[in-house]
């Protein structure tokens, strides 16, 4: 293990042009985080975990997030409107992501990121997932570079048990590549500066393919024989012409060249416990959200929470873009 960490320190120092002694000092200061390992350990029960869309939705599209989301929007309306105008991302989506991630900053995590990333990078608890351990090592390298650049203090910065930081829960790599200075003060602070957090979420989605004036869910009535149209993965696999040929119809009054011209996907928000299926036609904006979290349930919950909040604020509903 020690030899492995030494090799990582040498490689990181060489790749990022950081003094090796500086990298080694950080790694020596890292402490094993038992909670991170426990929470990342696969469940011991055998068999596949059943998907349950309704339960997931109830946990995330809840009255607390909706009520606080309205207040958050009212408090930061100017910034939300400015970021939305610049990126094309509706203000409701920006609010919903911050709400689902941290309940508007209430739960940002109190684990030292240096500890969690080092622990998961070198002692990841699932040997069947070597790609996850590699990912955490890369995030650790990004954290070390951010520290070297003076963008954060790796000795003190805190986040989730997986190393995500601030109101929008950016991993170090996302902070480095997608974070934005929302108030023009020359620095980015995702933990304490709401303007920076909002601007960063907008920039992240914009750079991951958000399309202006296109809803998350296309207003489509799917045919009864929907199974051949279903997809998995994080890239849309069909389009409106093919869906029409299969019997899909636009909802009354919802024909629009903006969404009809986009690549589309058909997904199933399945609830295996209740035995239900919720089929949706989704646009590139749905898949932009999955870059934030790869779960279809997550992306759908963001869109539905955005709808609930926007309905109360009176504008900015992603479902109204048609």
Read off the CATH number of the domain in which 135 is found.
1.10.8.350
User: Of the candidates 149, 164, 179, which is a domain's last residue?
Assistant: 164
Mean pLDDT of 129-143: 96
pLDDT recorded at residue 321: 65
In-domain check, residue 127 = yes
How many Å is the Cα radius of gyration of the chain? 21
Task: Clarify whether residues 128 and 231 are in a common domain.
Answer: no
Segments forming the whole domain that contains residue 136: 2-44+109-164
Instruction: Render pLDDT for 45-89 as a digit per residue (tens, 0 to 9).
Output: 656 678 899 999 999 999 999 999 999 999 999 999 999 999 999
What is the number of other CB atoms lying within 10 angstroms of the CB of residue 85? Answer: 12
pLDDT recorded at residue 45: 63
Share of the chain above pLDDT 70, in %: 98
In-domain check, residue 263 = yes
Cα separation, 181 vs 171, in Å, equals 17
Task: Clarify whether residues 132 and 36 are in a common domain.
Answer: yes
Distances (CA, A) of 2 to 24, 32, 34: 11, 13, 18
Task: Clarify whether residues 6 and 121 are in a common domain.
Answer: yes
Task: Clarify whether residues 158 and 264 are in a common domain.
Answer: no
Cα separation, 191 vs 95, in Å, equals 16
pLDDT recorded at residue 255: 74
In-domain check, residue 126 = yes
Pairing of strands 279-282, 265-268: antiparallel
In-domain check, residue 57 = no
Task: Clarify whether residues 148 and 258 are in a common domain.
Answer: no
Task: Clarify whether residues 239 and 143 are in a common domain.
Answer: no
Instruction: Render pLDDT for 209-267 as a digit per residue (tens, 0 to 9).
Output: 999 999 999 999 999 999 999 999 999 999 999 999 999 999 987 777 789 999 999 99
Task: Clarify whether residues 153 and 233 are in a common domain.
Answer: no
Task: Clarify whether residues 25 and 152 are in a common domain.
Answer: yes
In-domain check, residue 183 = no
Predicted TM-score of the model (pTM): 0.95
In-domain check, residue 272 = yes
Cα separation, 155 vs 158, in Å, equals 9
Task: Clarify whether residues 34 and 116 are in a common domain.
Answer: yes
**CB neighbour class for 20 (10 Å; exposed up to 12, middle 13-18, buried from 19):** middle
pLDDT recorded at residue 112: 98
User: Of the candidates 164, 184, 200, which is a domain's last residue?
Assistant: 164
Task: Clarify whether residues 122 and 264 are in a common domain.
Answer: no
Pairing of strands 265-268, 249-250: unpaired
CB 11 within 8 A of CB 4: no
Per the structure, the count of domains in the chain is 2
In-domain check, residue 292 = no
Task: Clarify whether residues 265 and 136 are in a common domain.
Answer: no
Q: What is the DSSP string of 149-198?
A: TTSS-TTT-EE-TTS-BTTTTB-HHHHHHH---SSSSS---TTT-HHHHH
Pair of tokens at residue 230 = 């279903």
Instruction: Render pLDDT for 145-194 as a digit per residue (tens, 0 to 9).
Output: 999 999 999 999 999 999 999 999 999 999 999 999 999 999 999 999 99
Cα separation, 322 vs 319, in Å, equals 7
């Amino acid at each position: 293990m020690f030899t492995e960490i030494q090799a990582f320190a040498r490689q990181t120092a060489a790749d990022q042009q950081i003094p090796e002694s500086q990298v080694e000092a950080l790694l020596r200061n890292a402490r094993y985080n038992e909670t991170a390992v426990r929470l990342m350990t696969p469940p011991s029960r055998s068999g596949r975990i059943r998907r349950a869309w309704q339960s997931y939705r109830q946990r995330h599209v809840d009255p607390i997030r909706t009520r606080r989301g309205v207040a958050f929007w009212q408090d930061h309306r100017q910034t939300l409107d400015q970021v939305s105008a610049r990126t094309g991302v509706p203000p409701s989506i920006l609010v919903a992501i911050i709400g689902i991630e941290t309940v508007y900053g209430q739960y940002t995590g109190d684990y030292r990121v240096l500890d969690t990333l080092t622990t998961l990078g070198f002692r990841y608890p699932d040997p069947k997932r070597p790609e996850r351990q590699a990912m955490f090592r890369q995030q650790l390298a990004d954290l070390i570079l951010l520290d070297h650049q003076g963008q954060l203090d790796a000795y003190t910065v805190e986040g989730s048990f997986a190393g995500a930081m601030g109101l929008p829960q950016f991993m170090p790599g996302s902070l480095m590549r997608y974070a934005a200075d929302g108030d023009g003060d020359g620095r980015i602070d995702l933990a304490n500066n709401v303007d920076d957090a909002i601007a960063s979420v907008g920039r992240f989605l914009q750079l991951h393919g958000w399309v202006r004036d296109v809803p998350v869910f296309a207003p489509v009535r799917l045919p009864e024989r929907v199974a051949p149209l279903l997809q998995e993965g994080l890239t849309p696999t069909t389009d409106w012409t093919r869906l029409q040929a299969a019997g899909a119809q636009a909802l009354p009054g919802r024909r629009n060249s903006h969404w009809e011209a986009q690549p589309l996907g058909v997904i199933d928000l399945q609830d295996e416990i209740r035995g239900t299926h919720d089929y949706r036609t989704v646009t590139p904006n749905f898949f932009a959200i999955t870059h934030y979290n790869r779960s279809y349930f997550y992306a759908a919950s963001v869109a539905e929470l955005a709808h609930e909040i926007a309905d109360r604020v009176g504008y900015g509903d992603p479902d109204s873009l048609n």
